[in-house]
Amino acid sequence: MSDIETLFEDHADDVYHFLVYYTRRDDVEDLVQETFIRALRSIDGFEGRSAAKTWLITIARRLTVDGGRKKRDVPVGDEHLEYRQNETGTDASEAVIRQETADELLDQIHRLPDRQRDVMLLRGISELDATETAAVLNMSRTGVYVTYHRALRTLRSRMDRGGDRL
């Protein structure tokens, strides 16, 4: 298996999920494909100073920012969004409330200032650690921590006004 095939097998889902939440677009599969095409073109330049996942998400983010595609706020179909259900079983009304809360939270994340939104999506959704997030966004780790906590404070305030609690 080649390096790019290994990267794809190991990280395609991570890139896909990041792009779903970051772009809120229906053409996420195309963006994932373009991300890996760009990775293939520049794989010789990957020095391994960061994790492969971090490198690929950086490429995906730059792809959307460079192409101006991030700003188009087109709703994503539900088939892209994965909501975890309580394994003990919940009634339909609780599931609907959780889904509505998750939708509202994602909407509020996208209303944050760009830097806060990016940090929140990378840390909270893509589950990158502070060092990886700092590498993707070209920030310091301290800057990531501060920005993340400011974003959380803003989201809590907004969700509290709406009756939800983070």
0.75 cut: is pTM over it?
no
What are the tens digits of pLDDT across the range 121-140? 999 888 899 999 999 999 99
Higher pLDDT, 12 or 68: 12
C-alpha to C-alpha distances, 34 to 7, 65, 77, 135, 146, nearest whole angstrom = 14, 13, 21, 21, 32
What is the structure's pLDDT at 76?
46
> What are 138-147's pLDDT values in tens digits?
999 999 999 9
Domain 92-161: CATH class, spelled out: mainly alpha
Residues forming CATH 1.10.1740.10 domain(s) in the chain: 3-66
Residue with tokens 């100073």: 49
Residues of the chain with CATH 1.10.10.10: 92-161
Higher pLDDT, 103 or 18: 18
Q: Which residue has the tokens 């073109």?
A: 41
Helices 130-137 + 141-161 axis angle, to 10: 100
- The answer to whether 36 touches 61, Cβ cutoff 8 Å, is no
What number does CATH give the domain 3-66?
1.10.1740.10
